[in-house]
């Protein structure tokens, strides 16, 4: 079943398309749903895509297509998550200078399947959380063998709170998009639908601890409903 917000957004997009012929902007969707930031809209759209209600036409501005409404049939099955993986060991690749803005997207294959173009998706703090969600897209080429299956995106790291895990300021983090993770994995965490940070996940009953990998930083603990997992770190690019 769709959540109330997912259902509300789907109907709003469908109505806007019927009235205007084009999809609403992220600001319009944010205001219509009375959300505090566009990151919540990104998350809702991704969930609707996964369930087969929406399609995003990448490389086109304001291009959402409603595939079906809730009364048009049963929901599409959600793809199974991959098996739990062990603790992260950074795979660091050299990378030239890039402009770090972008959006979620399915990877597109280039260069005879030697590399895959994935979207760059703003900045993420490895110290104090900062907003990482942007609308404008840019992309980075990543070796096919590095990614495996699933949807991926890239973020650049800001700060030094993960240096003991080998993650440095300015690194480009390669993220596999998923909404679940195991204890000890390094994740992209969305806090209160406003702040985005890269931290190690620890579950403590009904609470979630986001642990830094730097003794100078304190562990932040939240009720589980305040933290949404946006993806898991699988590799790093580093500029020298």
Question: Domains of the chain by range and CATH?
Answer: 4-69 (1.10.10.10), 92-238 (2.10.109.10)
Residues with Cβ < 8 Å from 214, sequence gap 6 or more?
160, 161, 162, 163, 164
Farthest-apart Cα atoms in the chain, separation: 55
pLDDT on residue 6: 87
Q: Rounded CA gap, 212 and 93, in Å?
A: 23
pLDDT on residue 217: 92
Radius of gyration for the alpha carbons in the chain, expressed in angstroms and rounded? 18
Say if strands 186-191 and 207-211 run parallel, antiparallel, or are unpaired: unpaired
Q: What is the pTM of this model?
A: 0.54
Q: Rounded CA gap, 146 and 97, in Å?
A: 20
Contact 201, 185 (CB under 8 A): yes
pLDDT on residue 173: 92
Contact 134, 121 (CB under 8 A): yes
Angle separating helix axes 4-20 and 38-50, nearest 10 degrees? 90
200: annotated active-site residue: no
pLDDT on residue 137: 56
Alpha-carbon torsion angle 76, 65, 42, 11, nearest 10: -80
Token couple for 125:
């703090």
- Print pLDDT tens along the chain (240 aa): 678 888 899 999 988 888 888 888 888 898 899 888 777 888 888 888 888 888 877 655 567 888 888 764 433 333 333 334 444 555 554 443 333 333 334 444 444 458 888 888 777 766 655 444 554 457 788 887 777 778 888 888 888 999 999 999 888 999 998 889 999 999 999 888 778 899 999 998 899 999 999 999 999 999 999 999 989 999 988 866
Q: Rounded CA gap, 87 and 149, in Å?
A: 18
Cross-strand partners of 237: 93, 172
Q: What are the counts of helices (DSSP H) followed by strands (DSSP E) for the chain?
A: 4, 13
φ, ψ at 30 (rounded to 5°): -60, -45
5: annotated active-site residue: no
pLDDT on residue 166: 92
Q: Rounded CA gap, 20 and 10, in Å?
A: 15
The DSSP call for residue 34 is T
Question: 90 vs 24, 106, 170, 237, CA distance in Å?
Answer: 39, 23, 14, 9
Residue recorded with tokens 């949404």: 228
* Catalytic choice (30, 38, 199, 200): 199
* Catalytic choice (23, 39, 105, 161): 161
Count Cα neighbours of 183 within 13 Å in the Cβ-side half-sphere.
7
């Amino acid at each position: 079943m769709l959540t109330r917000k997912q259902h509300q957004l789907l109907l709003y997009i469908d109505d806007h398309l019927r009235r205007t012929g084009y999809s609403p902007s992220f600001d319009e969707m944010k205001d219509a749903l009375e959300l505090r930031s566009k990151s919540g809209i990104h998350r809702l759209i991704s969930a609707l895509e996964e369930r087969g209600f929406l399609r995003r036409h990448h490389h086109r501005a304001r291009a959402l297509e409603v595939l079906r409404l809730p009364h048009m049939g049963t929901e599409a099955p959600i793809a199974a998550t991959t098996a739990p993986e062990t603790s992260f060991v950074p795979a660091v690749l050299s990378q030239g200078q890039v402009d770090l803005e972008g959006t979620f997207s399915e990877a597109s294959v280039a260069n005879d399947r030697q590399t895959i173009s994935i979207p760059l998706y703003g900045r993420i703090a490895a110290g104090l959380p900062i907003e990482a969600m942007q609308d404008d897209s840019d992309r980075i080429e990543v070796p096919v063998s590095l990614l495996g299956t699933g949807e991926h995106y890239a973020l650049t790291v800001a700060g030094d709170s993960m240096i003991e895990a080998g993650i440095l300021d300015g690194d480009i983090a390669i993220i596999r998009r998923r909404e679940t993770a195991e204890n000890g994995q390094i994740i992209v965490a969305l806090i209160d639908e406003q702040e985005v940070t890269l931290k190690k996940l620890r579950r403590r009953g009904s609470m979630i601890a986001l642990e830094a990998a730097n003794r100078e930083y304190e562990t932040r603990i939240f009720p589980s409903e305040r933290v949404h997992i946006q993806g898991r770190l699988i590799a790093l690019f580093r500029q020298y």
